[in-house]
């Protein structure tokens, strides 16, 4: 539970409107690695938004939304898709739609986004049962087997859904092995359960593995994907599945207040994010690896970086307790600078990162980061870690 409490609350320590309050210096360069949600729509997107053909999407009459949904379904190799305001609503609709009979429950990983960062919204209607998550984002299938409840016993709720996350956020953007996903899907099917993917960053996995995203999502009955993260759209997610499932999801979206009327304005950006976003992600992954290698080298004694786990656009810095520093203290220091430091680096650099757990700092690379940002970030990491090491030496 304590890990949950160190969530977004801590990020607020250093941010107001996305910029640390301390950064009042007009000369400071702010490099934002808190999340890939911070990306802003580019000019091409803004132009497409301005020119979008629109209609009332609650009536299914917005041509741009319809085009986006068609494109999303096509890319995923599924029948239909639904445009929704957020990944959180997308997961919520999926869970409520699959678990529509009263007394049903979904099995989720104990490190899943659904459990940690969505106010467990689904749990306000259905039961969520959590199972152990391993470091690679897989779940303990033996535990899943033990926890599935589908007897007629009136004492028990009914397990009807198994959820998986790929790439796995709290595991540091890990790509969940497809072999395991196929096995988990078989287990779900054998038990008459549906299989849902929280694929907020599934395109990162597809690009890193150099496979079609449709291959990765093939075992799933439903998929949620964020357009607003690394793909670069300002708003929105897609929920994808069979035609029947999406019809029901459409009803559910309305009940949750997610019917957005002339949403083609947003969908126009979404279409570009799907058309151009995925191939571009490869660049984020290259930058991420560069940062990870630097952090591992210059951070020795302060943070530990396991390069083998850096697979997509995230790096986890595991803070060494012996350093005397904590994720919070380091993140705070990243966002500040000193005169001495500005002199040494030659610039006032402020890094924003996210103290994700009691031990880990998360760095997320995205399409707003330039090669110059990465170089400056490397300088900053080197400087701050040296400073921490020196303060321990005296």
Ligand X SMILES: *Cc1c(COP(=O)(O)O)cnc(C)c1O
Binding site for ligand X (CB under 6 A): 37, 86-88, 91, 113, 165, 169, 198, 200, 226, 228, 237
Cα 353 from Cα 363, distance rounded (Å)? 5
What is the nearest approach in angstroms of ligand X to the Cβ of residue 61? 25
Q: In angstroms, what is the minimal distance from the CB of 352 to ligand X?
A: 17
Q: What is the DSSP letter of 310?
A: -
Judged by beta carbon, residue 302 or residue 356, the one nearer ligand X is 356
Instruction: Return d(Cα 119, Cα 246) in angstroms, integer.
Output: 24
Q: Give whichever of 199 and 299 is closer to ligand X, judged by the CB atom.
A: 199
Nearer CB in complex with ligand X: 92/265: 92
- The nearest distance, CB 378 to ligand X, in angstroms, is 25
Q: Which is nearer to ligand X, 121 or 382 (CB)?
A: 121
Q: What does 216-277 look like in DSSP terms, one character per residue?
A: HHTT-SEEEEESSSTT--SS-EEEEE-HHHHHHHHHHHHHTT---SSTHHHHHHHHHHHHHH
Query: Nearer to ligand X by C-beta: 165 or 373?
Result: 165
Our CA angle for 251, 245, 54, nearest 5°, is 55
Closest distance to ligand X from the beta carbon of 116 (Å) = 9
Rounded to whole angstroms, how far apart are CA atoms 10 and 23?
A: 17
Q: How far is the CB of 201 from ligand X (least distance, A)?
A: 6
Place of tokens 């870690």: 385
CA atoms within 13 A on the CB side of 45: 22
Specify the residue, 165 or 348, whose C-beta has the smaller distance to ligand X.
165
Q: Give residue 100's Cα distance to chain centre.
A: 26
Nearer to ligand X by Cβ, of 69 and 90: the residue is 90
Q: Which of 294, 373, 387, 297 lies closest to 344, judged by CA? A: 387
Minimal distance in Å, beta carbon 236 to ligand X?
8
Closest approach, Cβ 168 to ligand X, in A, equals 7
User: Which neighbouring-strand residues pair with 238?
Assistant: 83, 225
DSSP character at residue 169: T
Q: What's the closest the beta carbon of residue 74 comes to ligand X, in angstroms?
A: 22
CB closer to ligand X, 354 vs 383: 354
Angle, alpha carbons 350-352-353 (nearest 5°): 145
Residue nearest to ligand X (CB): 87
Q: What value, to the nearest 5°, has the Cα angle with vertex 318 and ends 314 and 324? A: 140
In whole angstroms, what is the distance from residue 194 CA to residue 160 CA? 6
């Amino acid at each position: 539970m304590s890990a949950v409490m160190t969530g977004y609350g801590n990020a607020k320590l250093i941010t107001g409107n996305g910029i640390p309050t301390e950064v009042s210096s007009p000369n400071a360069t702010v490099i934002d690695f808190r999340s890939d949600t911070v990306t802003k729509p580019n000019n091409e997107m803004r132009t497409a938004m301005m020119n979008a053909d629109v209609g009332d999407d609650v009536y299914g009459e917005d041509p741009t939304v319809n085009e986006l949904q068609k494109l999303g379904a096509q890319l995923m190799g599924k029948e239909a898709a639904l445009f929704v305001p957020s990944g959180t609503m997308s997961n919520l609709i999926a869970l409520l739609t699959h678990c529509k009979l009263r007394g049903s429950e979904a099995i989720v990983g104990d490190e899943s986004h659904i459990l940690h960062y969505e106010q467990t919204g689904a749990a306000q209607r259905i039961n969520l049962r959590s199972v152990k998550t391993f470091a690679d984002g897989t779940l303990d299938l033996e535990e899943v087997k033990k926890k599935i409840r589908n007897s007629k016993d009136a004492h028990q709720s009914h397990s009807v859904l198994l959820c998986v996350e790929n790439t796995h956020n709290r595991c540091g953007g890990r790509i969940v092995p497809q072999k395991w996903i196929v096995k988990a899907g078989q287990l779900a099917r054998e038990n008459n359960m549906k299989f849902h993917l929280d694929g907020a960053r599934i395109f990162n996995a597809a690009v890193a593995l150099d496979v079609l995203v449709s291959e990765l999502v093939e075992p799933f009955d439903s998929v949620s994907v964020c357009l607003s993260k690394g793909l670069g759209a300002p708003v929105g997610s897609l929920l994808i599945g069979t035609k029947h499932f999406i019809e029901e999801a459409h009803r559910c979206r309305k009940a949750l207040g997610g019917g957005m009327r002339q949403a083609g304005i947003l969908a126009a950006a979404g279409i570009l994010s799907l058309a151009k976003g995925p191939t571009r992600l490869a660049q984020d992954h290259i930058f991420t690896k560069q940062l990870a290698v630097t952090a591992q080298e210059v951070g020795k004694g302060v943070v530990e970086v396991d390069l083998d786990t850096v697979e997509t656009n995230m790096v986890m810095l595991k803070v060494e307790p012996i350093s005397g520093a904590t994720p919070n203290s380091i993140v705070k220091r990243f966002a500040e600078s000193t005169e001495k430091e500005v002199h040494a680096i030659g610039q006032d650099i402020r890094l924003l990162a996210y103290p994700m757990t009691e031990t880990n700092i998360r760095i997320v690379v995205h399409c707003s980061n330039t090669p110059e940002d990465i170089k400056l970030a490397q300088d900053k990491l080197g400087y701050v870690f040296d400073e921490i090491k020196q303060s321990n030496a005296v």
